[in-house]
A and B are shown apart, each in its own frame.
Chain A
Amino acid sequence: METVNYLNNGHGLKSWLLTKDHKRIALLYLVSITLFFVIGGFFAMLVRLELLTPAGDLLTAETYNKMFTMHGVVMVFFFLIPSIPAVLGNFLIPIMVGAKDLAFPRINLLSWYIYVVGGIFTLVAALSGGVDTGWTFYTPYSTAAANGHVITAALGVFITGFSSILTGLNFIVTVHRMRAPGLTWFRLPLFVWSHYATSLIMILGTPVIAITVLLVAAERGLHLGIFDPALGGDPVLFQHLFWFYSHPAVYIMILPAMGVISEIVQAFTRKNIFGYSFVAFSSLAIAIIGFLVWGHHIFVAGQSVYAGMVFSFLSFVVAIPSAIKVFNWTATIYKGSVSFDSPMLYAFGFIGLFTIGGLTGLFLAAMGLDIHVHDTYFVVAHFHYIMVGGAIMGYLGGLHYWWPKITGRLYPEGWAKFSALMIFSGFNLTFFPQFIAGYLGMPRRYHAYPPEFQVLNVASTLGASILAVGYVIPLVYFAYSMVAGEKSVNDPWGARGLEWEIPSPPPTENFTVSPVVTEGTHQYVHPSQEVGLA
């Protein structure tokens, strides 16, 4: 007789669709964001295939424009933003704070339904003809000129925003109100700190994008003059509103990944983090300063040079807390007991790719240089290093690390290592050439391009094919593991943390006895090594 856990406690579709268990809701999210990842990836492959040759010969210009638009909308709003918070955060935050569930379980389920409704709107927009505005919905093109179902897609983004807000709200209240006895703020896992910072951005930033896309829909549908100069509006106002959310949104994607990496680095060095409070507070610093840098997207739109200088300065400043994290992760490895299991390979990959992504961000923050590289492939390469090289590597690392806890089963480690290496090399081959193409002057969102850019684009497309295979392999072995994987013990990594003290998979109520916490996370005290404590 199998022990009762959250997976077998209730069967049938209804027990899943009406669940209030944060762990089951996390799995609902896992399935839905995976679906969107596959859809968004399919659009990306079509884009890369078109760019194999300079002439626009595979897709029509209009179809190509719809492909990169839908790729961006789906990946940003329906995969990256929910990815780590809604799946891993949902599953782990209650357990990490020693609680039975999030503060508002019903609202948690509601946020998944809202996400699904928003997703359906977007899929309807895609299937009924698509949208060709770019994921940025820039006006007045989106309100006055664009083809397709802009309003439907905008409403999809608007609706999904509420799911984000509710998740953020739930996390903040949970962290404040539901910590186990003895679990002080400075004993919290860094994963929780980074999600706390992320939640602040979600609840403060998301309403702005919601209002902005609603105004786009109002101008397009009702001809209210807001952004279109022909109606008396201001197109650059849209860019201010859009980036006021969408730049912090990058931190919604990367902060949770940083939290994952902090956990993995500690678990796979069996060592507590170097400079806990600096890593924790750097998350908050990123969340706060991140709200004040949006103007670096508008340097060449005729913004005042003095405003530009303030935004440029703050954009350099926001890089510092990220650098602090990288240095502290590296210092944590020193004198650790380092293992090279697949989650740790993802963490190494993350640190390398995020470093490149972050440092190339400095190029874009430097105003004089941004004039040249703005709106070129340099920008495309930069933000993919952050969002794919950073956020997705973090997500996959976290999924591999906590998979035995989530499913109670192991996955084939050899395949996991192999796919991690494939993803790392495929990623670099895809996106590194784009830095060179960008500095050469290749503009983004080009359906056809001059022949001298072809070599770099062929390399990119080749890399994307390797990357795609790298992503399919985990999909296969995770599916296999779920049904036939070897059973896992409670703590297969020898890691520390509340989540590793409970059974795998956890029981519905997480803890049979409410835990009492007496020390911070990842304390690996070993009698023979106490001498080395510093």
Chain B
Amino acid sequence: MFTNFPFFPEQASAQAAQVDGLYFFMVAVTAFFSLLIATVLVITAIYHRRRHEDEVGVQIHGSLALELLWTVIPFFITMVMFTWGAKVFFDQYRPPAGAMEITIVGKQWMWKAQHFDGMREINELHVPVGRPVKLMMGSEDVLHSFYIPAFRVKADVIPGRYNVLWFTATKPGKYHLFCAEYCGTKHSGMIGWIYAMDPTEFQTWLNGGPRSDSPAAAGEKLFNDLVCVSCHRDDAQARGPQLKGLFGHTVRLQGGATVTADESYIRESIVNPQAKIVDGFAPIMPTFQGMVTEEQVLQLIAYIRSLGALAPPPPASPAGAAPQVPGKD
């Protein structure tokens, strides 16, 4: 019955060793002090046990030196823990440039993943060993949390915004994927497997699956199907802001505030366009909330990102090639 019961999780990512290092340090320090307090307490109590019924204790009122000592020493020890913990977190906060990007959408009660080349998976995620992988994660309904214990990584997946999680797998194998934020009836069924693979095997796997459009290509199709292009175009008649070279840059808003055009900003501009109006444009864009799924939003973002950092010269195609649809700006 109980054939496989580990007491320590596998270490299968670059982060795991860092987190475990801090963990072992903290276990050692706290175990030492717990045992010290327990031992002193028990031995002192037994040594000074009441020997006859009307005995009283010696009245000692305190000692400033001792109070300072046991305030300052714990303070410095906890500051070591604080600094170490902050450093591990900080290293985990920003993904390295050039990480392989995968989009993740959580919904009650499954995980949907799409690789950079369009390959899709549900409740499974294949990743190569030795290469940083960055997950761009959104939710279609309620809160979820993407958690891979063997990698010691976790990030909440929140509707209405994107959270990023990244890791570098170090050991090929099959690892648990859990939803860690309670999300309703089948929360404990919102689980899956992470397959960390040798890079060449991963490439073979990636090539073997049924092909669909890459997120950016799918986004471009959507961009045309939804006729976004009729306003967001390159020429002087554009009624919406130019999207080429937009991603990652600072946008000046009406009223003078500025915002960086990241994933969350673009998402907001699609589902709630009135929230932030770009300087020099009229608030005429309708909301696309309910018209595009969370995955489609991610595809649109991938497309806008693929438009690059620099705007190419205006295309030769005549203006107004796309039909004007009333009400769709």
Cβ of A372 and Cβ of B89 under 8 Å apart? no
Q: Is the CB of A450 within 8 A of B176?
A: yes
Q: Which residues in window 479-534 of A have CB below 8 A to B?
A: 494, 523-526, 529, 532-534
Counting CB contacts under 8 A, is B41 at the interface?
Answer: yes
Q: Are B45 and A338 touching (Cβ within 8 A)?
A: yes
Shortest CB-to-CB span from A264 to chain B, Å, is 13
Docked pose: A65 CA to B161 CA in angstroms: 27
Report B-chain residues with C-beta under 8 Å of the C-beta of A523: 59
Query: Cβ of B142: which chain A residues have Cβ within 8 Å of it?
Result: 140-141, 144-145
- How near does chain A come to B250, taking the closest CB pair, in angstroms? 18
Complex contacts, A340 vs chain B, CB 8 Å: 45, 49
Binds B, one of A74-82, A190-198, A353-361: A353-361
Q: Which partner residue on chain B sits nearest A533 by CB separation?
A: B59
With known contacts A140-B159, A145-B184, A309-B86, A337–B57 Cβ distance under 8 A: yes
Is B58 a contact partner of A533 (Cβ separation < 8 A)?
Answer: yes
Chain A neighbourhood of B183, CB < 8 A: 141
Tell me if B108 and A269 are in contact (CB < 8 A).
no
Select one of B49, B58, B145, B188 contacting A532, CB under 8 A.
Answer: B58
Which listed segment binds B: A250-258, A323-331, A391-399?
A: A323-331
State whether the Cβ of B225 lies closer than 8 Å to any Cβ in chain A: no
Chain A, residues 346-386, CB within 8 Å of chain B (1/0): the string is 00100110011001101101111111101110000000000
* CB neighbours of A454 from chain B (8 A): 1-2, 5
B-chain residues with CB within 8 Å of residue A376 when the two chains form the complex: 180
Contact of B50 among A277, A301, A312, A338 (CB under 8 A): A338
Cβ B176 vs Cβ A333 within 8 A: no
Chain A residues with Cβ under 8 A from B50's Cβ? Answer: 270, 337-339
Contacts of A360 in B (CB 8 A): 30
Chain A residues with Cβ below 8 Å from B58 are 271, 335-336, 529, 532-534
Whether A272 contacts B61 by the Cβ 8 Å rule is yes
Question: Does B189 make an interface contact (CB < 8 A)?
Answer: yes
Q: Which chain B residues (17-53) contact chain A, with CB distance < 8 Å?
A: 18-19, 22-23, 26, 30, 33-34, 37-38, 40-42, 44-46, 48-51, 53
Q: B residues within 8 A CB of A449?
A: 188
Taking a contact as CB atoms under 8 Å apart, the answer to whether A366 and B145 are in contact is no
Contact of B188 among A271, A274, A446 (CB under 8 A): A446
Chain B residue at smallest Cβ distance from A448: B188
Contact B82 A312 (CB under 8 A): yes
Residue of A nearest to B62 (CB): A275
B154: chain A residues at CB < 8 Å are 300, 371-372, 374-375
CA distance A274 to B71 in the complex (A): 15
Contact A526-B85, Cβ < 8 Å, known A65-B187, A147-B185: no
User: Could you tell me if B48 and A333 are in contact, using CB atoms closer than 8 angstroms?
Assistant: yes
Known: A141-B143, A443-B178. A61 touches B185 (CB 8 A): yes
The residues of A that contact B30 with a CB separation of less than 8 Å are 359-360, 362-363
CB neighbours (8 Å) of A370 from chain B are: 85, 89
B300 → chain A closest CB, angstroms: 17
Question: Contacting chain B: which of A109-117, A228-236, A414-422?
Answer: A228-236
A132-B185, A300-B154 given as contacts; is B19 within 8 A of A369 (CB)?
yes
Decide: B187 and A365 in contact? CB cutoff 8 A: no
Q: Which residues of A contact B182 (CB under 8 A)?
A: 65, 134, 138, 141, 444-445
Q: Is the Cβ of B56 less than 8 Å from the Cβ of A300?
A: no
Q: In the complex, are the beta carbons of B5 and A300 less than 8 A apart? A: no
Which residues on the B side are within 8 Å of A229 (C-beta)?
A: 158-161
Alpha-carbon distance between A523 and B55 when the two chains are bound, in angstroms: 13
Least CB separation from B159: chain A residue: A229
Known: A323-B70, A337-B48, A439-B9. A375 touches B187 (CB 8 A): no
Which residues of B from 259 to 282 have beta carbons under 8 Å from A? 272
CB distance from B62 to the nearest CB of A (A): 4
Say whether chain B's binding surface is mostly helix, strand, loop, or mixed. mixed
Beyond A232-B272, A278-B62, A351-B37, whether A367 also contacts B88 by CB under 8 A is: yes
State A526–B50 Cα separation when bound (angstroms).
15
In contact, B108 and A271 (Cβ under 8 angstroms): no
The 8 Å CB contact of B74, one of A146, A323, A365, is: A323
Partner of B184, one of A132, A274, A440, A451: A132
**Cβ contact within 8 Å between A324 and B71:** yes
Q: Is B243 close to A, CB under 8 A?
A: no
Cα distance A363–B26 in the bound complex, in angstroms: 7
Chain A residue numbers with a CB within 8 Å of B205 are none
Does residue B293 face the partner (Cβ distance < 8 Å to A)? no
> Chain B residues near A339 (CB, 8 Å)?
49-50
Give CA–CA (A31, B82) in the complex, Å. 44
Minimum CB–CB distance from B301 to chain A (whole Å) comes to: 16
B78 & A316 in contact (Cβ 8 Å cutoff): yes
Question: A447–B109 Cα gap in the complex (Å)?
Answer: 14
Residues of B within 8 A of A300 (CB): 145, 154-156
CB-based contact B56/A368 at 8 Å: no
Contact assessment for A371 and B153 in the assembled complex, using a CB-CB cutoff below 8 Å: yes
Q: Does A12 make an interface contact (CB < 8 A)?
A: no
Nearest-neighbour CB distance to chain B for A430, whole angstroms, equals 17
Residues of chain A lying within 8 A (CB to CB) of residue B59: 271-272, 523-525, 529, 532-534
Question: Of the candidates B22, B23, B63, B145, which one forms a contact with A439 in the assembled complex, judged by CB atoms under 8 Å apart?
Answer: B23
Does chain A have a CB within 8 A of B152? yes
Known contacts: A275-B62, A300-B145, A366-B82. The answer to whether A372 contacts B188 by CB under 8 A is no
B178 and chain A: residue at smallest CB distance: A443
CB distance from B303 to the nearest CB of A (A): 22
What chain A residues lie within 8 Å of B82 (beta carbons)?
312-313, 316, 365-366
Which chain A residues border B188 with CB–CB below 8 Å?
Answer: 56, 61, 443, 445-449
| B270 vs chain A, min Cβ distance (A) | 13
User: Contact check: which of B6, B37, B48, B150 meets A338 at CB < 8 Å?
Assistant: B48
Residues of the A chain whose Cβ atoms lie less than 8 Å from the Cβ of B152 = 371-372
A445 lies within 8 A of B187 (CB): yes
Please tell me if the beta carbons of B40 and A372 are within 8 angstroms of each other in the complex. Answer: no
* Contact bitstring A276-308, B, C-beta under 8 A = 1, else 0: 111000000000000000000001111001001
Given the contacts A140-B143, A534-B61, A371 and B23 also touching, CB distance less than 8 Å = no
The complex places the Cα of A340 from the Cα of B48 at a distance, in Å, of 11
Least CB separation from A234: chain B residue: B160
Q: B48 near A440 (CB under 8 angstroms)?
A: no
A62 at the interface (CB under 8 A from B): yes
Alpha-carbon distance A276/B44, docked complex (angstroms):
20
* B56 and A369 within 8 A (CB): no
Q: Is the CB of A363 within 8 A of B23?
A: yes
Instruction: Name the residue of chain B whose CB is nearest to the CB of A449.
Output: B188
Q: Are A375 and B23 in contact (CB under 8 A)?
A: no
* A320: interface (CB < 8 Å): yes
Residue A441 CB within 8 A of the other chain: yes
Task: List 13 A-B pairs, Cβ < 8 Å.
Answer: A141-B183, A145-B141, A270-B55, A272-B59, A326-B37, A331-B66, A334-B48, A359-B30, A366-B82, A367-B89, A368-B19, A372-B19, A440-B6
